[in-house]
Amino acid sequence: MNQTVHTGGTRAAAAKATPPRQAPASKKAAPARPAAAAKAAAKEAAAKKAAAKKAATKKAAAPRKNSPERTMADILEVATREFAENGLAGARVDAIAEAMRTSKRMIYYYFGSKEGLYIAVLEEAYRRIRAIEAELHLEDLEPEAALRKLVQFTLDYQAANPDFVRLVMTENIHRGEYLKRSQLIQRLNVPAIEGLARVYERGVKAGVFRAGLDPVDLHWSISAFAIFNVANKHTFALIFQRDLDSPKAVAARRENAAEMLVRFVRR
């Protein structure tokens, strides 16, 4: 009896002394593949960059509430393209408002009407070219060099700004109906004639230009070269199969126009 009890006690003690068998640890999750992780990071970075660019574009396109002058300038820039591309009749204020991310009401607030906006576009177009002309410093050049520079500038400017030519063509289709409503455009063009007159008069006094010419007629001739160079380029190139946009052709027309004007006024 004592032996049985002793044996049971021994077994119980042995069982107590033996630590329980631990369950096998679960396997750690395999690390993500480096290539997959890099791809995911790149995708996330690209998404953030696209979102930032979209936000910046939206912010730039939105009119600045605290800068009416900047808002008007932005509207004029968009409206210039719309009127130049589609004319007065075909241009849509809705399209201008959509491009500006604003409302027609805002545009009418600043310009009054579609016609008022069109006149403002004409005024800005003439203001821009006359402002650049004023920076040519023709008075610092000899008469022939000054006239040559003015002719070449006019061709260069209008070739680089075909929208100006298209606006002038549109207004001529309307026989100057809207231009004559603007006293500003008439004032803007007075310095252009005065500057050309000073160049011509200096040439006459220096004995290099012949007398009796009208500066307005000279301005007409310069404009004719420059406007035809843009307005008829596509039809002329097609009819006569010429590449009028090649650097060589552009340089030749530029030089020829200046040379013809200089020879016309030369004694």
* pLDDT tens, residue order, the chain (267 aa): 444 444 444 444 444 444 445 444 444 444 445 555 555 655 666 676 666 656 544 544 444 455 889 999 999 999 999 999 999 999 999 999 999 988 899 999 999 999 999 999 999 999 999 999 999 999 999 999 999 999 999 999 999 999 999 999 999 999 999 999 998 998 999 999 999 999 999 999 999 999 999 999 999 999 999 999 999 999 999 999 999 999 999 999 999 999 999 999 999
Contacts of 117 (CB under 8 A, 6+ apart): 75, 76, 79, 93, 96, 107, 111
Q: Which CATH class is domain 123-265?
A: mainly alpha
Beta bridge mates, 266 = 209
Query: What's the pTM?
Result: 0.72
Do 122 and 130 contact (CB within 8 A), yes or no?
no
